[in-house]
Chain A
Amino acid sequence: MPDPHAATAPPARHPGAWALILAVPAACALALAYVGGWLSPQRLTPRRIVDQFQQNAGVHPGYRRNHAKGVCVAGYFQSNGEAAPYSVAQVFAPGQRTPVVGRFAIPGGNPYAPDGSVPIRSMALRFALANGQQWRTGMNSMPVFPVATPQAFFAQLQAGQPDPATGKPDPKKLAAFFAAHPETAAFRAWAKTAKPSASFATDGYWSLDAFVFTGPDGQRHAVRWRVVPEAVDATGAAAPAGQPDYLDADLRQRLAQGPLRWKLLVTLANPGDPTNDATKAWPDDRRTITAGTLVVDSEQAQDSGPCRDINYDPTVLPDGIAISDDPLLPARSAAYADSYLRRTSEEAHLPGTARVDTKPQAEAHP
């Protein structure tokens, strides 16, 4: 750009100066692009994880990209005060009753999957503490997670992508994945004998990831939690064969008789117990306290229920509970946020987001 005022301010027409004026902002832009992952498509990002869910199960506008099929529930948590010495979270204060909005679901991105297609059920909870803080948790009905890292989780998703020819995952790819990931052994041993339950009410649900409690004395305690059902299977109760949607009906029927209850158990780690590896259960003899009772007394369809617009991000925690060094937790938070933005954008019918087909998206990353 020529300077029309050369007389008053002698211009430095040095090409180096112009180069600097262009180079400095360009370097800033490049740095931002690098941090944003735009220069490294191979980097694992939340978007790639959620895209892979869409590759595996199709795009179902408005639904969660994982655990898409589910039902809203509500109730409360009644604390007995036994966890209060370990965590200052108000939810654990003696006698404290905290309202809960929850969600039962089955894993996978297909909201129409038959209930019997997987042996896993999940329970997500949002505790709304009286002080305005929240505790959100997403738990699964298995004692260990198959993998320990987001990278391995992504590899598992890729291996499970249906082959377009058969509509089913390629057994060879799955076998290769499990061979390359021996940490999945404990999960596979569980899965071998696990059967799809006939009811959400008779399952227990594990936090899987480790968290850190902080007590009133400032002491930190590595913990995992789980809920254990009061309801037990009727003898020989099995998932009804050939029926795709029995879990919702079962839940409604049970709630018509009265509330359902789970004990909330908190297990305290011993020094040296792994907090960064959800594939490893802690030994059975670890100190376990019963923090109180979760009471579920109503249910509502997920497309209109209060759980619909809740992102059950397990890193939304009250004072007194914090995330551990478990690498799955930040990845869950990041991927859930991406899924939440997609489905709320679809609900808002924002341009470019309202997808009506159920085919995998072409825009998905390779």
Chain B
Amino acid sequence: MNNTTGLFALPARILHWLMAAAILAMLFIGVGMVASVSERHAWLLRIHKPLGIAILLLAVLRLAVRLRNPPPPLPADLPAIQKLAAHASHWLLYALMIAMPLVGWAMLSAGGYPVMLGESLRLPPIFPAGPVAFAVLRHLHGWLAMLLFLTFLAHLGAALYHGLIRRDGVLASMVGGRRQS
């Protein structure tokens, strides 16, 4: 690893916090809109689609930033099981932030819906229309959202654990600023 600052690169930190807000908002929007019959349903749906595509683009950008700027190494004294959990959960987060928008896009395509990001901006379908594919993708979208939310909760808990209990600089490496070590 050639990261010697102990911090995530600035672009990585900006992307992380921007996407954290976007993804968390997205999960709440998604869960809220399917449970709502009020005008909230309409305006949440209007946000959901373009925000999802924005997250997809940001996720791709973020992967590129990560490849160019390797993250700081985990503390050497971190137990192997926690290291494994850290790596696995991060790659799961990356996989989900790319899969969720694609599954949503494919699901609308399979349902025969025009994929409208605004009043006139339309994306092409990425999956052939069909009821079976729609149903499978729609359920998948919901289950992956739950998995993403649970992974986020674990990520949040782990970040707090590093910051409050271990105080090992892992949280600071993403928050920026002072690093305890």
Contacts and interface: CB of A to CB of B under 8 A. Distances in A.
A113 to B, nearest CB: 23
Interface in B37-75: 37-42, 45, 75
B130 interface: yes
A323 interface: yes
Interface stretch (A3-11, A114-122, A230-238): A3-11
A350 B136 contact: yes
Interface string A41-74: 0011111010000000000000000000000000
Nearest to A8: B77
Given A35-B28, A309-B112, A348-B135, A22 B157 contact: yes
B131 interface: yes
A20 B166 CA distance: 14
A133 B168 contact: no
A322 interface: yes
A22 B129 CA distance: 44
B41 A330 contact: yes
A11 B75 CA distance: 14
B105 to A, nearest CB: 15
Given A311-B111, A350-B139, A25 B153 contact: yes
Contacts of B22: none
A150 interface: yes
A340 B39 contact: no
A24 B160 contact: yes
A132 B122 CA distance: 8
A8 B169 CA distance: 12
A31 B28 contact: yes
Given A329-B42, A350-B139, A35 B31 contact: yes
A191 interface: no
B77 A5 contact: yes
Interface residues of A, number: 64
Interface bracket on B: 35 or more
Interface string B141-180: 0000000010011101100110011111000000000000
Given A32-B31, A330-B39, A133 B114 contact: yes
Nearest to B131: A344
Given A9-B167, A341-B138, A133 B122 contact: yes
A28 B135 contact: no
Interface centre among A18, A35, A132, by most B CB within 10 Å? A35
A310 to B, nearest CB: 6
A134 B36 contact: no
Contacts of B164: 12, 14, 17, 20-21
A174 interface: no
A344 B134 contact: yes
Contacts of B113: 134, 311, 316
Nearest to A132: B122
Contact of B34 (A29, A334, A343, A353): A334
A341 B37 CA distance: 16
28 contacts: A8-B75, A9-B168, A11-B165, A14-B164, A21-B160, A24-B157, A32-B31, A32-B149, A35-B28, A35-B35, A36-B32, A43-B35, A45-B36, A46-B37, A49-B37, A131-B122, A132-B114, A150-B38, A309-B129, A315-B42, A330-B41, A333-B41, A334-B33, A334-B34, A338-B34, A340-B134, A344-B135, A345-B135
5 A-B pairs closest in CB distance:
A319-B120, A331-B37, A17-B164, A37-B35, A344-B135
